[in-house]
Homo-oligomer: A and B are copies of this chain.
């Protein structure tokens, strides 16, 4: 057995030797396919500007809340690892991380990091293993040396990673200048697409909602006032995004509640919310109605609608106040889709070319709600396992929970959803391995033929994301 985990060709494949052979063959058929990443959080500027990465900590630790949260849990203050963008001694932060490296064993983050170290940066496995045993500085220096090479600039890595499409996530008022520059640059062959993410403009309970709405309308309502102008401004900005290549609109809502309201009532709630005169229940109703409106707009303008609900954002106030959002304490809770999403499906569940991709952090809805919904409504697709569920065992549970009811055609294809640019290859590789593992088991159990499994792995890895995200 080779000592290197990341290098092992059979990593993540099933234990049973007969099944593993089948899985290896399936994997081989898709291992070199281009990466399609229809949802994620890499900044377009980073690629447009092609600026060199700063240092190992700034690249791999500080901005990755998957990593900093486990360091925090181990008692390392977020300030010492640069979370939230504060000033930090990079090498000292790296040493903290290196000492905690064994805590990542068995986690998805640990698996990705090791893959990055070995595959992206070419570190020897033994050097990686030395991280908690005095090797912190050696690894830091090796990574820093690589980062100073031109081959480690974003655009070169983009190509080397085999990325064909990369979607970003953007504020509705973003100029999309970076996207435009990339699209117009003949030297850049990839596609970097914006994604319309309007949450902050749809949620009256957020303190800055009024300010954002005013800015939105000033910029895009073409002089139309009130609720009509608000809707028009959103429609206009969606059109702007589409003109700049967007294929989807993403909704990071607390719950998937949707609500149809007549125009007068919606306008009344809008006006009351702006005046600060609405009750919490009215604010929630308005937000639920705006999710319905977003579906209506997607039906009309063709943007794929993705919903990412069920996370209690910024669970720890003191951390939020000091370090801001996305610092590792968004905690999932139980959600319902069956009742919540029904108003949208009543009106748009069979609408032509409407694609509604439903994600969850609550695994219980996979077999109970999402597979049955996607198994009936042509508009509904089950979103791939996301965030905490974007991990080998969780992915297998997802396929097991969904497939027997909805088959393979009703799922979204893999979503990396990452801010960590260098983790993209490892994440897609993980997904391809696990899909191969799942299909191989079905072959061994004589539930599908091996020939059919080969068709399916190609469909899952390549055709599905193109089809579902209209790429």
Interface residues of A (CB under 8 A from B): 1, 3, 5, 8, 10-19, 69-70, 72-75, 102-108, 110-111, 312, 315-319, 328-334, 336, 338-339, 342, 345-346, 349-350, 361-364, 367-369, 371-378, 380, 388-389, 391-394, 397, 400-401, 403-410, 441-442, 444-450, 452, 455-456
Q: Which residues of B contact A5 (CB under 8 A)?
A: 446-449
Contact B107 A8 (CB under 8 A): no
CA of A111 to CA of B452 in the docked complex: distance in angstroms? 14
CB closest residue in chain B, given A108: B404
Contact B14 A15 (CB under 8 A): yes
**Contact with A8, one of B12, B102, B392, B446 (Cβ below 8 angstroms):** B446
- Least CB distance from A141 to B in Å reads 24
- Least CB distance from A367 to B in Å reads 6
Contact A378 B18 (CB under 8 A): no
Contact A106 B72 (CB under 8 A): no
Contact A73-B410, Cβ < 8 Å, known A329-B376, A349-B316, A403-B106? yes
CA of A371 to CA of B363 in the docked complex: distance in angstroms? 13
CA of A46 to CA of B282 in the docked complex: distance in angstroms? 54
CA of A52 to CA of B249 in the docked complex: distance in angstroms? 53
**Contact with A407, one of B106, B317, B447, B452 (Cβ below 8 angstroms):** B106
9 A-B contact pairs sorted by A residue (CB < 8 Å):
A102-B455, A105-B408, A106-B404, A106-B456, A107-B406, A330-B372, A331-B373, A333-B339, A367-B394
- Least CB distance from A369 to B in Å reads 6
Contact B372 A345 (CB under 8 A): no
**Contact with A368, one of B11, B333, B405 (Cβ below 8 angstroms):** B333
Contact A334 B331 (CB under 8 A): no
Q: Which residues of B contact A407 (CB under 8 A)?
A: 70, 103-107, 110
CA of A319 to CA of B350 in the docked complex: distance in angstroms? 10
CA of A371 to CA of B387 in the docked complex: distance in angstroms? 12
Q: Which residues of B contact A10 (CB under 8 A)?
A: 446
Contact B332 A369 (CB under 8 A): yes
CA of A19 to CA of B346 in the docked complex: distance in angstroms? 48
Contact A73 B364 (CB under 8 A): no
Q: Which residues of B contact A452 (CB under 8 A)?
A: 102, 105
CA of A324 to CA of B388 in the docked complex: distance in angstroms? 40
CB closest residue in chain B, given A363: B367
Q: Which residues of B contact A371 (CB under 8 A)?
A: 388
- Least CB distance from A132 to B in Å reads 11
Contact A336 B339 (CB under 8 A): no
CA of A254 to CA of B79 in the docked complex: distance in angstroms? 37
Q: Which residues of B contact A363 (CB under 8 A)?
A: 364, 367-368
Contact A318 B392 (CB under 8 A): no
Contact B107 A405 (CB under 8 A): yes
CB closest residue in chain B, given A349: B316
* Minimum-distance CB pairs A-B, first 6: A391-B404, A11-B446, A15-B16, A333-B338, A8-B446, A106-B403
